[in-house]
Structure 1
Amino acid sequence: MRMWRPSIAASEGIKSKEELQQAKDKWGKNDFELPMPKFYELLKEQLVAPFFVFQFFCMLLWCLDEYMYYSLMTLLMLVIFECTVVKQRQQNMSTLLHMRRAPQPCLVYRQSKWTQVSSDELVPGDICSIGHNERDTVVPCDLLLLRGNCVVNESMLSGESVPLRKEAVGASIVNDAEQLKNLEIDDGSSMKHKRHVLYGGTKVLQHSTPSSKDSLRVSSPPDGGCVGFVLKTGFGTTQGSLMRTILYSSQRVTANNSEAMWFIVLLLNFAVAAAAFVLSQGINDPTRNQFKLFLHCVMIITSVVPPELPMELSLAVTNSLIALTKSNIFCTEPFRIPFAGRIDVCCFDKTGTLTSDELKLHGVAGLEAHVEPDKYRGKRGGELDIIAPEQLPLDTELVLAGCQSLVLLNGQVAGDPLEMTAVRNINWCLTSNEGRAQGLPSVQPSFFSDRRGEIQAVDIVHSFSFSSELKRMTTIVCVRKADNDEQDEQRVLTKGAPEVLESVFINKPSYYRRVYRHYASKGCRVLALGFRVLSGELSTDQLRCKPRDELESELTFAGFLVLDCPLKDDTKRTIRELMISKHKVTMVTGDNPLTACDVARQVGINAGYSKQPLVLTPNAESGSVEWKSIDDGSPDVEDETIPFNVDEVEKMQVQYDLCVTGEALSTLYKQQEDKCDDNAAVLEGFLAVLEKMCLCATVFARTSPQQKEHLIMAMNRCGKTTAMCGDGTNDVGALKQAHIGISIVNSSSSENTPHVVDSGRGSGSAGQSGLRNRRQAGHRSVREMQQSLSSSDDAQIVRLGDASIASPFTSKSSSIRVIKKLIRQGRCTLVTTIQMYKILGINCLITAYYLSSLFIHGVKNGDQQLTISGLSIAMFFLFLSRAKPARKLSHQRPPSGVFCMSVMVSIFGQFVIHLAFLAAALHVAQPFIEPGDPAMHPDGNFTPNVVNSIMFLMSSIMQVNTFVANYRGQPFMEGFWENKLFCRSALFNYAVLAAVISEIFTPINAMLELVAMPNQETQLVVAALMTGDTIVTLAFEYAVQMIVFVST
């Protein structure tokens, strides 16, 4: 998409009809065109798929061998399955069609004038007007904001309901080719300058435009809207990409992959060997029909690909999707569900993930010289005391009131919970400021504030949004005094990470580090506050044009804001369960390392007081990194310093709890840059270093979004299956790199309404009451959603607003229990899939030998026998796929795949057992094989006989034993006796086979086309062989599982 950059510089939109037509021909309409195909068209597409054609060919072969009922039943089952797939596809496409918005009128700047067109006619390169109106404006495409500011709700894409402020990119950047080249707006939601981009499908809640002229060559739109440059349209937008992901994932839900193909190839080798043996025996017999011989050989080979394979693999994943959806966990990439069962490392963000968004403001510390001693809240005395919010100095109060990004929507305050808590506690409130300062709000003291007679309002003139890379935010404000005789004052207000702002304060107190480290080490969230009074009167435009670095310099220290972030109710319990189940748990946060280490100690990620925590920090003098003990600000504690050696990190983790800072990672990356100039080589070298330490450290603090992404990449390179739990805003890169990325949406309702509080609220009690009411309303809506979902057992397509562009999994619950649910469901799905492969493999091997041995002796199966056997197997697979996950996480890990050693030993061990008993049964039947008997002519019609009866009973009991022995049960899924349908089906089959061999109810024997045993001795021997196969198979599989359990 680099092609539009010169057009942005021109900033005049499309200038001619020819240019417009070329754009339309190239990009098409700005619409999600999903033509609804007819049922028979989709069915035709399914029926010509390679797998169905192959199975149809197999059924024809069985028909040629006079197995009409079996062939028709199997073919009917396949067609019904394909019809259900087609019907589901139609329903999904219909749902997606209802998600799309109808085109709306839109002002577009073409041929040097504003013209109204339909939004579906927009093309990349257009310049259009966008703003809020009564019709609940939805952004029609991805736009780069050139003029004006907007407040948008992006819950439709990310699930996050907190309103976001979008700022114009600015004429200075648009007209500067170099700055334009460095503008990062091409990589979706993870891009650096996304605050300048409006995404298609998001709602505009508020907009404002500057009153003064700028250098853009486009006149102001007649409707007073913001001016935006069209970047992408239709399915090229971020919303379109999400819709494509949803649509693709719903085409056919299956766990099919290359592993299945190689497994079938392995089985095919055995089938080919069996068919070759039959061919070599039959080709020397001149009485054999050569066509029938070839037909039998082909049937043996094709038996390794059972017709029910796609249905069985789909059932396991589909049932998991339904279960996850009922738990408010939405998935856009179903193939990842089995990966959840293999998770080795669980990474968690801290703020909003492990800790709650409901912050408690303690006050401001570090202001010993600014207030009188009798106003201290604490009893320590000195700079460590916390000053209550209602007793703060004016300068500090102005920073808390004016340095924020809150917005006012319909009389209610919406925005970041931390900023809402601060403004509410100092008894200030937001007011509308339209037309005065480009739509940025004003704050003024409420009736509860002591400042009401002193300050009239604080107008936010310009805002530099919080940046994860810079770890700070800044606003320029105009302080309007209540006394009209006093002159208004312009100030720069800044808040951010204490270690980042330390260098910009001109009056940094000597106790600066000691204070913030003291509170950070107690798990508090600490922000440094600063301000600067601007000398001289500068216009609003002049202030906006000043570089950020210039404004954020020579600040006056205004204290440390100290907040408590309480842990979520179930954080400790969930982390403990994950660690008991031997999952590596790591915290990856952008917060202070001292705070992160204390929270890690509270939740159990760190060992606590049994291990000393060490922090990897850069050494400014040497340009390297070193390990340092935690400096909590206590004057009597000496710092312990240990030189950094990447090869010693693994040994150090035994004695210390290791914490790695983002600054240390930046230093290590710079060391690689000094070695070579190639970016790819630098990243490769950095990841090689990170690989050796990523699994040894328990906490990564003050990390940027890119560093989080690199960390997950390093863990993946270590061969680990990773899960990342975070929010869909700052952790996008890490969520996408992880095998299982879970975006936790802190939304209180299914409607994704903005996080708001009453703007008139002044007291804390009212605030707590409002929070309780929102939680109760949220719980009600979640219960209603669960009730509606539980009434349906169909896998529904994920809707926009449920899915997130940030990750394949989105949880509507703010609890981290989602990771436990996902691991349990993933293990159940993984084990169920492996069980199916094992059962299919063993059955195919048995069938290959069984068919070949029968064909050699001129014995065939009956049509009814194969039909009933096929129905029985289909029922077993259905009940097997409906197994529920175990309630507790076990430290034992499921097999990683089909080619795991334990799985292969189990498959071939059981096959050898079954083969031995089949050979014994064939030996028992040998006396009854009469070559001259017409019932045993290899090319004749089927006639029931003793050999067929004995071999059918043995193959039937082996099929039941294969299902029962390979049902994994605890500790990954509900046990055999708990899965009622599966258990009862197995017992029913055992009872029927017992009745058949004992011949106590002969109509069953007749239905199965079986003859009576020739004598009681043969009957007892066959019964003993059936019992022996059952006991030995179950005992062998139990022994294999016990060996696996002991080894893990």
Structure 2
Amino acid sequence: MEKPVPVGKVENAVVNGSDPCQDQEIDSCPPQTGYRHSIWRSVLFYALVVVPAGLGLLLAYWFPAVWLRLTAYRCPLGSASRVIVKDLDGNKCVEVVKTAILPGHTHQPIRIGHTCVGLKEVWSGGVVRYLIHRHLRYLYQPSVGKFVLLRGLDDGHTSSALHGMRGGLSLEQHSKRACLYGENSIDVPVKPYHVLLVEEVLHPFYVFQLVSVVFWIVEQYYYYAGAVFLISCVSVIISLLQTRRHLQQIHDIAFSSTTVSVVREGREMSGVSSSSLVPGDVLVVPPSGLLLPCDAALLTGQAIVNEAMLTGESVPVTKTPLPPSSLHYLPSSSSHKRHTLFCGTQVVQTRFYGNERVLAAVVGTGFSTAKGGMVRSILFPRKLSVRFYVDAMKFVLLLSILAGCGFIYTLAINFYFKFQVKDTILRAFDVITIAVPPALPAALTVGIVYALARLRKNNIFCISPQRVTLAGKVKLVCFDKTGTLTEDSLDLLGVQPVVAGSFTSGLCSARDLPQCPLLYAMATTHSIATINGKLTGDPIDLKMFQGTGWVLREPPPGSFDTLTPTIACPPKGGGGEILGSEVELAQLRMFTFSSDLQRMSVIVRVAPTSDPKQLHVFCKGAPETICQLCRPNSVPGDFPEVLGSLTQQGYRVLAVAHRPLHMAWHKAERVKREVVECDLRLAGLVVMQNRLKSQTTPVMSSLSHAGIRNVMITGDHLLTAVCVARECGMIPSTHSVIVAETTPTSLVSFRVLGEGRSPTTESGEEGTTPLIIKAGDLQPPFHMALDGKTFSVLRESSSQDDYQRVLVKGTVFARMAPDQKAQLVRDLQSIGYGVAMCGDGANDCGALKAAHAGISLSETEASVASPFTSKIPDISCVPILLREGRCALVTSFSIFKFMALYSLAEFITVSILYSYESNLGDWQYLYIDLVLVFAFSVVMGYTGPHPHLVKRRPLGTLAGVHVMLSLGLQTLLLIVFQISALLYLQKQPWFAPYQFPW
């Protein structure tokens, strides 16, 4: 008999036997310091900075926070004219405090931070004080004494409150909100060429280059200075053009303007500019073609929307009205996403009832929308903590110290030789330009720039270039299953009906089914729509509906009372009749599929019928979930065995259930989901076959041979996922699989799955009794498979060490909700894994953004769902990305080390020559710095990746023993070689020794 193992005993059981997607994080009330302009401080500052040739102005430009502290005095935020805001990455930004004039006293509620307050709370003397930080507005709240983020209606308002806004805003309310929120526009300004030129030239790198050129000209290195100046000019122009092109691309993606119809003061107004929309406006959604200019909660009707830009999912999704409730509306939550129309998405089609308009309440505008979040994530990417860059900056600091020593040494030598002060200072500063080459920090990005270009040629696009090098350190890749490892489309293998509480023998074709609940459910439980004469929707829904042979049609207005729902009916002559008339199934209301609930349902009217109140509920979803919602006597006793047999063969199984619903339509329109989805009767199983993509198995083999661990994270059934994992080689045929399951008492038990056979018993014979894995019962190699429920139990209840051991051995994670996928990725990162995630971008959004290298398979070039987007429709993009990541890392390492050694070599050479009152000539500097260094740097940068992934990964730090030893020995070799050459030269008979002054 199976004995449950407490979750705290995972060690003995396993190891010893051997969200739209959320945009970037927003701080609603970041650290702030207020300053007020001081005339005498400003006069004193500008008087002093003129003395050192304007160097102080440059420092003020580079460090605005320091400039503000020197020219202004600190004061309370309530009287500040400028504010230093510290973001989540620790960066300090100077923001100007602005004012908005709002005449008249008002009690109009607004949302700031996490609190809903009256406008009077931020209104003082008809003026509201605010600042704009990273395109978001922060209002000054006197009661808090800080500037707090101004939110729309996307947080804190109940669903019922949003429904109460159907009459729209009054003109006075709109005017005040427009003044408060500003224009509804995502406008990224494209700076003029002359502004970009000034910004580029004032970059520290080019300022250093310009100063160096001046020094070299004074030292009469005309050819070298001219060459460097020419190269710098070309570099500035190229960088300027690239920056301008990048800004133009972002502007084109972000900016859109249209005219819409809104409801204000209870009446519809058409031809309104979308830029005038404010939170609280009620938008009238047209039948099709609208590119949404805001985030809005759907109040009435249905809408079919293309969300490819946000999620990467090319299949249109159906949005249903937000049900009135006392729950707070959160558009980013999985339960409210299906009721939210996101900015930047395209309305393909709307459905409405009778003469009722499709209405949506505006909840977010401008940069506070989902699209605005995507644009901000591009403009202000989160700072990534990459050890390589930290070590590189430390190395630059070390070279700076060395340059300081060389500076002092050169001063001493030149004073000793009694050189002129001007020449002494010039030579000393020349040593600094040699020891710390200005191109050294730029060497860190060379590999990334070339890697991005190669990735783009391979149809892989990136919105976060810093993550390219992170891809080079990936040790583990997580994959979604459906649409990623397997084909998007599935084949309907057959159905297994339930008749009188028992399964029929074997599978049968859906077209052979009589008029029964299973057939009706297959024809109605979907979100399919007819767009331009073609059925469009989720691939599973399409295959299931097409398997019935039925057709969809839109009835003329007036049928079924005043409703115009989607109607499914059998083909002409199909034999589907009730009461002598052809049967018609009208889909009256839909509860869309939820990844968290793992099911969808519809309320249907079957016509003809003698009772107008007789409705039917059909529900489909994960078998385990549907089974729990059914009457026990409607579930066959052999349900687990039949389900297990189908899933172990790799089939995707959906359970279908139904129940009668005696309710008038106007009540059914408002009934809660949980009231409908209960007391169901199991109608049968729908079995679908999902084939692997052609590139899945070869890529799995390539990754495995490179020592990269592969993990599957899916919402599918556990045994189906295990079968697919074995089929694609993720789990080798010679390896065992331990399935972790949660008992009703929240204990975790473990059993061994045979290689395609039934679970083994304690005696080793085949049977159905699961086995507890104790210490010594199983020898490695083995893999763990668990579902989302077990994952949550283990994560919350087991010890840290036990949970980490499960993470190390877990290969298949099934029935995982979107937030669980993201959490798993973060947990794997916390134990030292460099994690990549590959998915379709729909339910994997959180995990894709959490991973070090998230890559979405999508037809769009930029998506908020993921840092990387691949137009390659299979996982062959993964090894390409990993190879380019490794190449970028190795290239940056190599160029950095080469530049560092080159500067050290030249520093040693010049130091020796200074000791003999000599120096390199103009043409020698030109040859070394341009011919040799430039040529090698370009060649190294152009070098592509190895054609195959190997087990050895590149180092991720410059502080490693290998790197430091290599640099140290090379430097020592340079010193020995140059001194030896000098000594050898002095021993030659023709050598005339230098006469030192001493």
Question: What is the TM-score with the length of structure 2 in the denominator?
Answer: 0.78
Is 1:461–1:475's contact at 8 Å kept on the other side of the alignment?
A: yes
Residue identity matched to 1:712: V
Is 1:624–1:668's contact at 8 Å kept on the other side of the alignment?
A: no
Cα separation, 1, equivalents of 2:670 and 2:168: 28
Q: CA deviation at 1:427?
A: 0.3
Which residue matches 2:218? Answer: 64
Which residue matches 2:780? Answer: 654
Bigger mean CA deviation after superposition, 41-50 or 428-437: 428-437
Is 1:149–1:438's contact at 8 Å kept on the other side of the alignment?
A: no
The percent of aligned pairs where both chains have the same amino acid is 29
Cα separation, 2, equivalents of 1:94 and 1:652: 60
Q: CA deviation at 1:275?
A: 3.7
CA deviations on 1:188-243 (whole Å, 9 max, x unpaired) are xx65411111111211111123449xxxxxxxxxxx64211112222222222223
Cα separation, 1, equivalents of 2:574 and 2:976: 89
Which residue matches 2:277? Answer: 122
Bigger mean CA deviation after superposition, 431-440 or 577-586: 431-440
Is 1:517–1:633's contact at 8 Å kept on the other side of the alignment?
A: no
Is 1:312–1:878's contact at 8 Å kept on the other side of the alignment?
A: no
Q: In structure 2, the residue corresponding to 1:443 is in which secondary structure?
A: strand
C-alpha spacing 1:588/1:85, structure 2 compared with 1 (3 Å) = same
Is 2:501–2:635's contact at 8 Å kept on the other side of the alignment?
A: no
Q: In structure 1, the residue corresponding to 2:249 is in which secondary structure?
A: helix
Which residue matches 1:846? Answer: 905
Cα separation, 1, equivalents of 2:610 and 2:930: 93
C-alpha spacing 1:830/1:448, structure 2 compared with 1 (3 Å) = farther
Q: CA deviation at 1:29?
A: 1.3
Which residue matches 2:523? Answer: 401
Residue identity matched to 1:618: T
Is 1:108–1:127's contact at 8 Å kept on the other side of the alignment?
A: yes
Bigger mean CA deviation after superposition, 525-534 or 6-15: 6-15
Alignment of 1:260-299 (within 5 A): 260-283=392-415, 285=416, 287-299=418-430
Which residue matches 2:471? Answer: 340
Cα separation, 1, equivalents of 2:556 and 2:216: 79
Is 2:759–2:769's contact at 8 Å kept on the other side of the alignment?
A: no
Which residue matches 1:242? Answer: 374
CA deviations on 1:409-437 (whole Å, 9 max, x unpaired) are 12211011111111112101221257568
Cα separation, 2, equivalents of 1:591 and 1:289: 81
Alignment of 1:103-142 (within 5 A): 103-116=257-270, 117-133=272-288, 136-142=289-295
Alignment of 1:485-504 (within 5 A): 490-504=615-629
CA deviations on 1:933-961 (whole Å, 9 max, x unpaired) are 8xx999xxxxxxxxxxxxxxxxxxxxxxx
Is 1:724–1:740's contact at 8 Å kept on the other side of the alignment?
A: yes
1:919 pairs, out of 979, 983, 993, with 979
Q: CA deviation at 1:726?
A: 0.9
1:626 pairs, out of 732, 735, 749, with 749
Which residue matches 1:51? Answer: 205
Cα separation, 1, equivalents of 2:256 and 2:396: 48
Alignment of 1:294-305 (within 5 A): 294-305=425-436
Which residue matches 2:490? Answer: 359
CA deviations on 1:789-836 (whole Å, 9 max, x unpaired) are xxxxxxxxxxxx421111101111221001011011111111111111
C-alpha spacing 1:846/1:739, structure 2 compared with 1 (3 Å) = same
C-alpha spacing 1:844/1:713, structure 2 compared with 1 (3 Å) = same
Bigger mean CA deviation after superposition, 312-321 or 524-533: 312-321
Q: CA deviation at 1:455?
A: 4.2
Bigger mean CA deviation after superposition, 656-665 or 286-295: 286-295
Cα separation, 1, equivalents of 2:498 and 2:877: 42
Cα separation, 1, equivalents of 2:814 and 2:779: 17
Is 1:149–1:439's contact at 8 Å kept on the other side of the alignment?
A: no
Is 1:338–1:829's contact at 8 Å kept on the other side of the alignment?
A: yes
Which residue matches 1:807? Answer: 866
Cα separation, 2, equivalents of 1:888 and 1:670: 40
Cα separation, 2, equivalents of 1:692 and 1:294: 62
Cα separation, 1, equivalents of 2:803 and 2:177: 46
Cα separation, 2, equivalents of 1:709 and 1:76: 49
C-alpha spacing 1:295/1:440, structure 2 compared with 1 (3 Å) = farther
Is 1:354–1:568's contact at 8 Å kept on the other side of the alignment?
A: yes
Cα separation, 2, equivalents of 1:711 and 1:859: 63
Which residue matches 1:441? Answer: 566
Residue identity matched to 2:771: T
1:40 pairs, out of 194, 197, 222, with 194
C-alpha spacing 1:462/1:12, structure 2 compared with 1 (3 Å) = closer
Which residue matches 2:297? Answer: 144
Q: CA deviation at 1:500?
A: 1.3
CA deviations on 1:448-483 (whole Å, 9 max, x unpaired) are 7443786432111111111111111111111114xx
The answer to whether 1:228 aligns with 2:360 is: yes
Which residue matches 1:193? Answer: 336
Is 1:471–1:496's contact at 8 Å kept on the other side of the alignment?
A: yes
Residue identity matched to 2:513: L
Q: CA deviation at 1:654?
A: 2.1
Alignment of 1:863-942 (within 5 A): 863-872=922-931, 873-926=933-986
Is 1:688–1:714's contact at 8 Å kept on the other side of the alignment?
A: no
C-alpha spacing 1:206/1:366, structure 2 compared with 1 (3 Å) = closer
Q: CA deviation at 1:879?
A: 2.1
Cα separation, 2, equivalents of 1:865 and 1:472: 75
Cα separation, 1, equivalents of 2:525 and 2:727: 31
Q: In structure 2, the residue corresponding to 1:334 is in which secondary structure?
A: coil
Which residue matches 1:524? Answer: 651
CA deviations on 1:318-359 (whole Å, 9 max, x unpaired) are 221121112111110011111111110000011111111221
Q: CA deviation at 1:158?
A: 2.5
Q: CA deviation at 1:299?
A: 2.2
Greater share of helix: 1
Q: CA deviation at 1:65?
A: 2.3
1:741 pairs, out of 854, 861, 881, with 854
C-alpha spacing 1:657/1:433, structure 2 compared with 1 (3 Å) = farther
Is 2:715–2:817's contact at 8 Å kept on the other side of the alignment?
A: yes
C-alpha spacing 1:247/1:438, structure 2 compared with 1 (3 Å) = farther
C-alpha spacing 1:499/1:282, structure 2 compared with 1 (3 Å) = same
2:767 pairs, out of 628, 637, 645, with 637
Q: CA deviation at 1:737?
A: 0.8
1:471 pairs, out of 598, 617, 631, with 598
**Alignment length (residue pairs):** 823
Alignment of 1:735-774 (within 5 A): 735-745=848-858
Q: In structure 1, the residue corresponding to 2:299 is in which secondary structure?
A: strand
Question: What is the TM-score with the length of structure 1 in the denominator?
Answer: 0.74
Cα separation, 1, equivalents of 2:501 and 2:533: 35
C-alpha spacing 1:530/1:694, structure 2 compared with 1 (3 Å) = same
CA deviations on 1:43-69 (whole Å, 9 max, x unpaired) are 101111223222322332323322222
CA deviations on 1:670-726 (whole Å, 9 max, x unpaired) are 538xxxxxxxxxxxx8x7754332121111111111111111111111111100111
C-alpha spacing 1:450/1:341, structure 2 compared with 1 (3 Å) = farther
Q: CA deviation at 1:9?
A: 6.5
C-alpha spacing 1:14/1:427, structure 2 compared with 1 (3 Å) = closer
2:309 pairs, out of 156, 172, 179, with 156
The answer to whether 1:561 aligns with 2:686 is: yes
Is 1:518–1:634's contact at 8 Å kept on the other side of the alignment?
A: no
Cα separation, 2, equivalents of 1:878 and 1:296: 29
Which residue matches 2:638? Answer: 511
Q: In structure 2, the residue corresponding to 1:492 is in which secondary structure?
A: strand
C-alpha spacing 1:322/1:286, structure 2 compared with 1 (3 Å) = closer
Q: In structure 2, the residue corresponding to 1:32 is in which secondary structure?
A: coil
CA deviations on 1:966-1016 (whole Å, 9 max, x unpaired) are xxxxxxxxxxxxxxxxxxxxxxxxxxxxxxxxxxxxxxxxxxxxxxxxxxx
Greater share of strand: 2
Cα separation, 2, equivalents of 1:438 and 1:486: 17
Which residue matches 2:103? Answer: none
2:739 pairs, out of 615, 629, 634, with 615
The answer to whether 1:829 aligns with 2:942 is: no
CA deviations on 1:57-106 (whole Å, 9 max, x unpaired) are 23323233222221222122222212211112222333344445653222
Q: CA deviation at 1:547?
A: 2.5
Cα separation, 2, equivalents of 1:383 and 1:910: 78
Unaligned runs of 5+ in 2: 1-110, 117-152, 761-765
Residue identity matched to 1:475: V
Residue identity matched to 2:742: P
